[in-house]
Structure 1
Amino acid sequence: MLMRTDPFREFDRLAQHLMGSGTWSRPAPMPMDAYREDDTYVVAFDLPGVSPEAIEIDVDRNMLTVKAERRPTAEGEKVQLDVSERTLGVFSRRLALADTLDAENITADYDAGVLTLRIPITERAKPRRIAIRGSASDKQLSS
């Protein structure tokens, strides 16, 4: 059996349980990072302890929705839970995608508890040079 020595640990656990546990009707948020890498927009979500089968990724028009559910790992009649500090339940995040992102070609990878989405940037949004035609000396001024 594990012994707790922090007198405030139970208060922290209770607050986290009340604030952090999510349900399908009211999911808890999940931490994420988002950044641009060359011609791709990358979004990484922290989902430790979530099986890939418990993750849903949907795109509806320009709205990206990621939902995941962390279920208890130890269940059954013979299981005696001594400490339960990991947040269980449903997690969700909705992101509005700009028109400059190619929502048709999103790829998803899940490794070491991190879900990584790679969203290509459309050709029209990529930086480009504009060629200048002619020059001011080629034109005649009329008076």
Structure 2
Amino acid sequence: MAMTFDPFSELDRVASTLLQSRPGPRVMPVDLYRDADRYVLNADLPGVDPGSVDIDVDGQLLTIRAQRTAGTVEGAKWLAQERPAGTYLRQFSIGEGVDTSAISASYDNGVLSVIIPVSERAKPRKIQVHNASTSADAQKTLTS
């Protein structure tokens, strides 16, 4: 069986190992979109215990923290251990047009979903336009 050396695959493996072993928070990829009167934030957190997820709102700053612990098997000799463990952290600046008291979150199949409702004062609304001459005639009729 002939094995070939692929320098690009090897470089990718080494870079990935270096990035994963760096100290500090891990990457938490997110999708964020607006759906009618709410924002939906979906964050990938595979293998994270839902009890370790902490979501805080401080003023206009939304912070998501989570912890993923490394697998431990007593007496095992690891051949590969590529799944990152450690702390995940993301912070988002949220505008004044959201209802921070009604933010909710759920965790399902490794995806954290955070629902951020738009506040009533920030929702679009229709403004009725009155005909000035009709309003003036109505005022005259009322005062007569």
Tell me: CA distance 1:6–1:53, structure 2 relative to 1, closer, same or farther (3 Å). farther
Mark the CA change 1:81 to 1:124 in structure 2 (over 3 Å): closer, same or farther.
same
Equivalent residue pairs, number: 134
Does residue 107 of structure 2 align to residue 107 of structure 1?
A: no
2:94 counterpart (92, 97, 105):
97
More divergent stretch after superposition (106-115 vs 54-63):
54-63
Asked if the contact 1:42/1:116 (under 8 Å) is kept, the reply is yes
Contact 2:70 2:84 in 1 (8 A): no
Query: Distance between the aligned counterparts of 2:49 and 2:25, measured in 1?
Result: 17
**Structure 2: gaps of 5 or more residues:** 137-144
Residue in structure 2 matched with residue 132 of structure 1 by the alignment: 129
Stretches of structure 1 that go unaligned for 5 or more consecutive residues are none
Given the two structures, how large is their TM-score scaled by the length of structure 1?
0.80
Which has the larger helix fraction? Answer: 2
RMSD: 2.4
CA deviation map 1:19-78 (0-9, x unaligned)? 24564xx313310000111211100100011111221111111100111121112333x1
TM-score normalised according to structure 2 size? 0.80
Q: Which residue of 2 aligns with 1:61?
A: 59
Which range moves more in the overlay, 38-47 or 66-75? 66-75
Which one has a bigger Cα radius of gyration?
2
